[in-house]
Every structure is written in structure tokens, then in C-alpha cells.
Amino acid sequence: MLMAGAERAAPDALYAVLEQLGGELYIDSQKDIPPDVRAALRAAAERETTPVARRVLATTLKAIEVADDHRMLVCQDTGIPIFWITIGRGVTIDGARMQEALRRGVERATATHPLRSSIVSPLTRRNNQTSSGVGIPIFHIEFSSDIDYLDILMMPKGSGSESMSFLKMLLPADGVAGIKKFVLDCVVDAAGRPCPPTIIGVGIGGSSDVCMTLAKKATLRPVGSHNADAEVAALETALLTAVNGTGIGPMGLGGETTALAVHVEQAWTHITLNPVAVNMQCWRGERRRASVYPDGRYTIGY
């Protein structure tokens, strides 16, 4: 018979891998733009008829090319490091140790790369030059019986797009029309500040905190994907058409491509509530993913 806890201990090697990956994912997400984002930018550049919009999109594609050629960051903003972690079926992990390993990886990468640390105390504005601090990196942790590994998705969230985060507790009587109006009002208000063309994440339902988290999570979906719920997917399509009809365009300089995508994620809510949240992701749409198995093997993707 096994002693209590003996079968639960994951080998030390796994945490060493997690520390290494914490740094790699943070750096590589800022150098290597996901293929779906590249494809969407290329398609927009070909589609655009406004000369200034075509020039802006050509410049963004050039920035990606330069980053590829020289292994440079695509933008100077290293963002807030955010990990979205899904723990699969049968994966045994010490959660506190996992978070600590990933945080150390981010800190080490910041020191050795070197990267600009974008993280400060909200009161003193002190910067430890580690890209970490109280409550940072941010960890979102979920569980899934569909996978048998640890899915780690890193998103460094730049301030230009993160500043454009909005929440409104609408009334049920405001309906879907109220949701659409709120999203459009946010986009018009944000104009060029989130570095469009953006990926617009919309959360609907839940409580206030869940709604905001859904909006951010929605920005992580590959561009071109749709919500599995047909009604939510139809809302995504309607919103994208409306957003691109505003004429704000790339970098807010005019054009037909204000957003590359609108992604909506939902949770059911209280009978008297109709929460809606908007979180914008700038054109670089950075994210990087690792699938890590309990024995330390891993694969890298987006």
C-alpha cells in the first residue's frame, strides 16, 4: 500500500521545466505573433481600399517580419504577464509550486533577456525590474477532463489595449440591443488608443468579475474561430460588421479594419442582471502555449 501522499508527489524535474517554460513563453509570445493573427492582418491589408489603412497594415506586417528576422520584440510594451492554465485529467501537480516556478521563469527571463519590466506598485510606482509584484503574474486556473496534460497559455497584456476595458451592468430590459450598443460605444470611445485593428473580447452574463474575465478570455481565441453556440456566434458576426462600419480603421487613422475579430464568451447570469464587458487586444494578438505532460515532456504552440 502506498503511503498517504506518496502517489501525489510530482517529480522535481517537472517544476524545473515549468520554470524554464514560464520565461520562454513570456519572451516568445512577444516575438512570434500567432499564425492566425498574421493571416488576418495579411487578409485585411489585401482587402483594405483606404490608402492610409493599407500603409498602416503594411507597416504592422513589416514589424512582424523584422521581429522574425532579428528575434526582436514586436512592440516595446512587455505587458502584464498572465497565465491561463488548464489542468487535465489525471495530472497531479502542486499548484502553489507550479505558480512559483512560472513566476520565477518570468523573473529570470526579464533579468537575463533583458526585458523592460512593466510592473509597478499602484501606490508607490516602485518597479522591482522583475515583471512581477504583488498579484503578478496573474494566474487563471481551470480543470478539464478532455486533456491529460497541463495546458499553459501565456498572454502578456499591453497597457494600450488593457486600458480599453469596460464593464456595464445592463438591465435585462436592455436586451441584446443594449449589449450591441455598449460594445459599439466602447469601440468608438477607444478609437485609436488600443492600437487597432484589435481583437475585441466581449463577456456576457455571469457576475461582474466573471463577465470581465470572460471578455479577456475571449481575446485569446484564434482569430477566425467562433463561439460553439450558434446564437453567440451570430452576435460575434453582427458585432464585427458593426465595429468595422465605424471607419476608425488601423491605428485610428481611418479604414475598414477596426477589428480583426469580435469574440464573445458567455456565462448564465441572475434573472435581474444583464452584464456586458469589453476587453480589447491590440493588433499583435500575442499568446504562446505549452502542453506539459506529468513526466516533463512538452510541446509548444499558440
Q: Which spans of this chain sit near ligand SF4 (rule: CB under 6 A)?
A: 75, 77, 158-161, 194-195, 282, 284
Q: Which is nearer to ligand SF4, 75 or 102 (CB)?
A: 75
Q: Which is nearer to ligand SF4, 42 or 297 (CB)?
A: 42
Q: Closest-CB residue for ligand SF4?
A: 158
List Cα–Cα distances, 274 to 172, 175, 178, 270, 283, in angstroms: 5, 8, 9, 8, 29
Enumerate residues 6+ apart whose C-beta is below 8 A from 277. Answer: 165, 166, 167, 168, 202, 203, 204, 211, 212, 214, 215
CB of 77 to ligand SF4, least distance (A): 4
Q: Which is nearer to ligand SF4, 59 or 121 (CB)?
A: 59
CB of 29 to ligand SF4, least distance (A): 11
CB of 118 to ligand SF4, least distance (A): 9
The rounded distance, in Å, linking the Cα atoms of 74 and 83 is: 20
Kindly give the pairing relationship between strand 138-143 and strand 80-87: parallel
Cβ atoms of residues 138 and 80 within 8 Å: yes
CB of 270 to ligand SF4, least distance (A): 33
Enumerate residues 6+ apart whose C-beta is below 8 A from 168. Answer: 182, 275, 276, 277
Q: Which is nearer to ligand SF4, 193 or 226 (CB)?
A: 193
Q: Which is nearer to ligand SF4, 160 or 201 (CB)?
A: 160
CB of 180 to ligand SF4, least distance (A): 24
